[in-house]
Structure 1
Amino acid sequence: MAEGEIESIRAILSSKPRPIGWEQRRQRLDEVGSIWPVADDVELRTVGCGDVAGEWSLSPGADATRVLLYFHGGGYCSGSIASHRRLVTEAGRAAGISTLAIAYRLAPEHPFPAAHDDAMIGWRYLRQQGIDARNIVVGGDSAGGNLTIALINALREANEDLPACAWLISPWTDLTMSGKTLESKDHIDPIIHRGYLVELADAYAPTSLDRRNPLLSPLFSVLAGFPPTLIQVGSAETLLSDSTRFAEAAAEANVATTLEVWPEMIHAWPLWNAGLTDARLALKSAGQFMKRRLLDRVP
């Protein structure tokens, strides 16, 4: 990591007071997520995936027949294609494949299971385009990582073809918030704190729901048969335990699991890949993982 880079990102995140209200929070995430624009050589195309909007990206030389289906983070209540565009497009470049980002509906206007339904719509759209399941990678950060796991679990339960692999960045896997690092890392995490997570969980999953339900907290799901999975998480995250416990559960279920814990990195740090060396290295590692797993699935 180049000296001072992560401190610069922390300074950007703390340069303004934490916003109040869903609209202000959404604007702020779009703002900090799009500080660096998409590279000039990336081709973008808006598409309608049924009732859900999406965006294709293609970098020079990328294989358009293989796709990263990506779900952005934001605690189910914020985040967008715009906030995550730089991350998604550079991930596609690293893997040498096209990407499809999904603009799933947000809470509290659209609580559970709206985002899950939209994630499935995105998957169905790709399959309807003739993309074989073994040529698809499903990925996401934070709540988008949760959606990734939930989508794959739904496909497994329906005995449908599964994607080649899953890519999880700082996934929020436990809406019961029982992870020890919610407390032990609270003093160094600039973004995610228990009170904030409680607000997000209440907005998306009303307290009448059992948050140990694997649809909400995939940490508690049965994972046998889950596809190979890469988990990338920062050591300075309150959600570190959500990744390490999920990795342990997946490994116990005989899932090919790779856990990368990046020293000093914060929640969803690959967002700032244009200005952060470790973000670019994380995307390079993820790209190599996706390439290997897609190659393994070639008939």
Structure 2
Amino acid sequence: MVEVPDVPAPRRSLLHCLAFLVYLWTVTPVRRLLGYEPIVPESSIRTEIGVRFIRYSIENSLEGARAFEAATSKLVSMSVPDKLTPVEDDGIRGVWIGDEYESGHDGSNEPVIVYFHGGGYSTCSALTYVTGLSGIRKALKKIHNINMRIFSLEYSLAPESKYPTQLNEAIAAIEYVAKEYPNRPIILMGDSAGGNLVLAVLQTLKKNKAKELKNRVSAAILISPWVDIVIPPTSHEANHAYDFTSIHTLKRMTQWFLPDGADVKDPLLSPVFADLSGFCPMFIHYGGRESFASDIERFIEAAKKARPALSLDVFVEPKAPHITPMMPPFFPDMAERGHVAIAHFVAKLISS
């Protein structure tokens, strides 16, 4: 394992980040017109701007990153057509995305999604990636005429709340949704750290033999899941020029999230080491140019070896960085392809 040095994070305000975005939109097209090579290799102008801007925004102090995320979440929430319903119920906090099902608590076989956001367990919120969630709902409705409601969990963040707080809250959220919709199957979905949390939940339900709740979870959708918490990710050296993830930020997030004495090879923390036998069907989306690519591929190989065999669908966006389906404003074409692939997976589940 390569030792990652501690590097102090700069404090970048919302104004700093927006000024850098204006700079990128001004300078990047001019550089291309003058014949300069892309700073993000082999990328479109929009992809280069997205990667460089997101990288700049997350290479930030915790306070700066959270302030920036809070402001942008408010803006993007106003841009989506979906109904957003905040929830605070018996300790469960989150947001319902989409209208109430017309049929209410009926016997429909159309699932409901429980979503866990990414952000290294220390930043982001239930609404950070609402444009991505809205895009998935749109693809489901437009292509398959499926009205899919999504519950996005507002889990506690590190360093104020360390592991296993988030795992406990995630299981409580599934219990809440199961009570709200007692006859509908549940699909778990998460990106990055949220994908890590999905896999920790599946292991916990299996280990604790929580048969009733485990049987309610019909599938898992993992978008660029964080499957090995060891820093740096295996593909960082090869892909860092293409991706916006920062190993220094990841290292800080890992230190904030893990309790003292935690074993980074614990399967609940690094699910690449998990026993995946008996898991529900899974869909995995990742980018061929992201820092997590090799780790995700190791996880996929482990999943293929699970016995009894599990149902596994994989969609690779070859030139994509991290979590492109969740960021349509920056990666519209790649995001849309991801939304369509996810919608096809859900439709296949419903028809089977």
Same fold (TM over 0.5): yes
State the partner residue of 1:147: 197
CA contact (8 A) 2:315 2:341 kept: no
Query: Structure 1: which amino acid aligns with 2:187?
Result: V
Using the size of structure 2 for normalisation, the TM-score is 0.76
CA contact (8 A) 2:58 2:65 kept: no
Q: 1:184, 1:240 → 2: CA distance?
A: 10
- Mapping of 1:181-200 within 5 angstroms? 181-190=235-244, 192-200=245-253
Residues paired across the two proteins, number:
293
Equivalent in the alignment of 1:58:
98
CA distance in 2, matches of 1:98, 1:206: 34
For the Cα contact (< 8 Å) 1:146–1:173, is it kept in 2?
yes
Gaps of 5+ in 1: none
Name 1:28's counterpart in structure 2: 68
The answer to which of 239-248 and 6-15 deviates more is: 6-15
| CA drift at 1:268 | 1.1
1:259 match: secondary structure: strand
Contact 1:137 1:167 in 2 (8 A): yes
Question: For the Cα contact (< 8 Å) 2:286–2:315, is it kept in 1?
Answer: yes
Q: Once the two structures are aligned, what percentage of the paired residues are identical?
A: 26
Aligned to 1:258: 313
Contact 2:289 2:321 in 1 (8 A): yes
Deviation of the 1:247 alpha carbon = 1.0
Does the alignment pair 1:269 with 2:324? yes
Change (3 A) 1:44 1:18: same
Select the residue among 282, 287, 304 that pairs with 1:229.
282
Tell me by how many angstroms 1:41 deviates: 3.3
In the alignment, the residues of structure 2 paired with residue 264 and residue 147 of structure 1 have an alpha-carbon distance, to the nearest angstrom, of: 26
TM-score scaled by length of structure 1 = 0.88
Q: In terms of Rg, which structure is larger? A: 2
Q: Deviations over 1:2-52 (max 9, x none)?
A: 9533223224325668322x2211223345567645555311111124212
Deviation at 1:162, TM superposition (A): 4.5
Q: Any gaps of 5 or more consecutive residues in structure 2?
A: 1-42, 105-109, 141-145
Q: CA deviation at 1:71?
A: 0.2
2:173 is matched with 122
1:133-212 correspondence to structure 2 within 5 Å:
135-159=185-209, 160=211, 161-177=215-231, 179-190=233-244, 192-212=245-265
- 8 Å Cα contact 1:34-1:84 kept in structure 2: no
Change (3 A) 1:37 1:152: same
Q: Deviations over 1:68-125 (max 9, x none)?
A: 1000000000010221222223223333310000000000000011110110111010
Q: Aligned equivalents of 2:137 and 2:205: distance in 1?
A: 23
